[in-house]
Amino acid sequence: MTIRAWLTGWEMECCGTPFRVGDEVAWPLIDLDDKGLAFVRERLGDDAGAPITHSAVFHGRRGVDVPKTPAHVTGIHAVLHRFELIAAREVRPIPHSGRLVWLHDSDDRADLGLGEDEQFAAYLVDLDLHDQQP
């Protein structure tokens, strides 16, 4: 069984371990609920958000209670968002402005080709679960 999981950038920076295509990982995975799927679709649009079924949660209360699921990393994409200034020092993502950039490993973010108003937001990670259920 192959799934696509959302991994928020700040969670990875705080509590994650670098990974690359071909690695074996064991992550706490939760089903992406309607609220989470709406969050992803707002940023990436319906087509890009639809195949995302799970979220990896390393940080905070939710991640502690979720058992780790072993998986094989088969693909990694950086999620980039365009942002707009709404107040002094406050920005929000522009809906449906996200784009994906293929990566070979999670540390390979130096040459993302960020536009002036873009920021790195998350990873989309394709995982082969070895016929397990998360």
Report the alpha-carbon distance of residue 4 to residue 2 in Å, rounded.
7
pLDDT in tens, 3-57: 999 998 888 888 788 999 999 999 999 888 888 888 888 888 876 655 899 999 8
pTM of this prediction? Answer: 0.86
Q: Which one-letter amino acid corresponds to residue 39?
A: F
Among candidate residues 9, 7, 75, 80, the one with its CA nearest the CA of residue 44: 80
Domain-wise residue ranges, the chain: 2-128
**Chain segment 50-88, per-residue pLDDT in tens:** 589 999 988 755 555 788 899 999 999 999 888 888 888
